Every structure is written in structure tokens, then in C-alpha cells.
Structure 1
Amino acid sequence: MPQPAQRKEHPLSMRLPDTDIAIIDRAARLRGRSRTDFVRDAAVRAAEEVLMETTPIRMSAEGFDAFMAAVSGPAVPVPEMVELFRRAAPWEADHSATGE
């Protein structure tokens, strides 16, 4: 007798107010996603953030010393970042010269 295939999915049921559903549905439509996909992705991202915040980082004593030296040393400007911050923001740029 053939064995039934095992389901790998686990249903998750939530009771939400209409206002929450409306917000979720609106955001999901803006992303071109289904409500299920949108909520699943948001929940997994939130869970990963929590896990990353609470996961200890292990390194050797030498690695820790190198890390501390890197973050404790003087700041070094990154030319690309300096140039980026010198540019006007798109909403601040003067478009009158280009006819926009």
C-alpha cells in the first residue's frame, strides 16, 4: 500500500482586526504578493532579526583583538561616502536648469 506523502507545511491561524488585514492586504498588493506570502516573509524576517540579536558571536582571542583594533582606531573617510553626502538630495536638487 503506498505511503501518503508527508506534508511539510504547518498551518498558522491568526485572528486579526479588519484594520490590520486591510493594512497587510494593501502592502501585499503594493509588493505584488499574496497575503500569505507577505505575512510569511515579514514574520520570518522579524524572527531572523531576533535570532541575530541574541546569537552570540564567537571568535578567537586574536580575532577579537583585531576586531577591537579596527573599531577603536581613528575613523577613516570613505571617498565614495563623502561624495554621496556632498550631493543634494533628489528633492533638494534644482531642476529648473533641466526643464523638469
Structure 2
Amino acid sequence: MARAADRKEHPLSMRLPQADIAMIDRAAGLRGRSRTDFVRDAAVRAAEDVLMETALIRMSPDGFEAFVQTLSAPAAPVPEIVEILRRPAPWEADAAKGQS
């Protein structure tokens, strides 16, 4: 006897103002996606963000002490970042060329 297949999809219904539907359709079209795919992906991303914000991080007391010490220690400079920050911004470099 054949077994009934497990349902993998569950319907979700929403009532939205026409302006919201139009915006979703426009954005979905720009991404080359269907409205359903676009809304599903956006909803899942938003749900993941909320869950990650509320996830507990467990660690031993020794691990927590090491974590706090690391956060409390002075930051070590990263030579590559220091070099980038010393460069003039593109708009500053352009202004300097125009003055010479």
C-alpha cells in the first residue's frame, strides 16, 4: 500500500495594501524572482536575524574571564588599516590636483 507523501510546503496567507504588493512586486522583478520567492526569502532572513539576536552563548567561567580580558585589553593596530586611513580620500586627492 502506498504511503501518503509528507507535505513539504505549508501555505501562508497575508492581507497587504496594494501599495505594499506593488513595492514587493517591483523589488522581486528587479531581482528576477517571483513574489513568493522574494517574500519567503525576506521573511526567512528576518527570522534568522531575530533568532541570532536572541541566541544564548554559553561558556565556562574561565572562558568568560578570558573573553572579558580580551575585550578590556587595548586594541592592537592593524598595519594595513593604518596605512589605508593615512591615505587622502579620493575627493581630497582630486582637490589637491586641481589646486596645482
Q: 1:40 to 1:87 in 2, by over 3 A?
A: farther
The sequence identity of aligned pairs, in percent, is: 71
- Matched with 1:12 is 12
Which residue identity does 2:15 align to in structure 1?
A: R
- Listed as ranges, the matches of 1:68-83 within 5 Å are 68-83=68-83
User: Given the two structures, how large is their TM-score scaled by the length of structure 2?
Assistant: 0.77
Residue 45 (structure 1) aligned with residue 45 (structure 2): yes
For residue 8 of structure 1, what is the amino acid of its counterpart? K
Deviation at 1:87, TM superposition (A): 5.8
RMSD over equivalenced CA pairs, Å? 2.1
Name the one with the larger helix percent: 2
Q: Deviations over 1:31-86 (max 9, x none)?
A: 22211111111111111111111121101111111111111111222233334444
- The size of the alignment, in residue pairs, is 93
The change in CA–CA distance for 1:58 and 1:15 in structure 2 (over 3 A counts) is same
Structure 1 unaligned residues grouped into runs of 5+: none
Where does structure 2 lack aligned partners over 5 or more consecutive residues? none
Bigger drift between 77-86 and 2-11 goes to 77-86
| Other-structure match for 1:23 | 23
- SS of 2:39's equivalent in the other structure is helix
Write the distance in 1 (CA, Å) between the matches of 2:83 and 2:39: 38
Mapped partners of 2:35, 2:88: distance in 1:
39
For 1:39, the aligned partner's letter is V
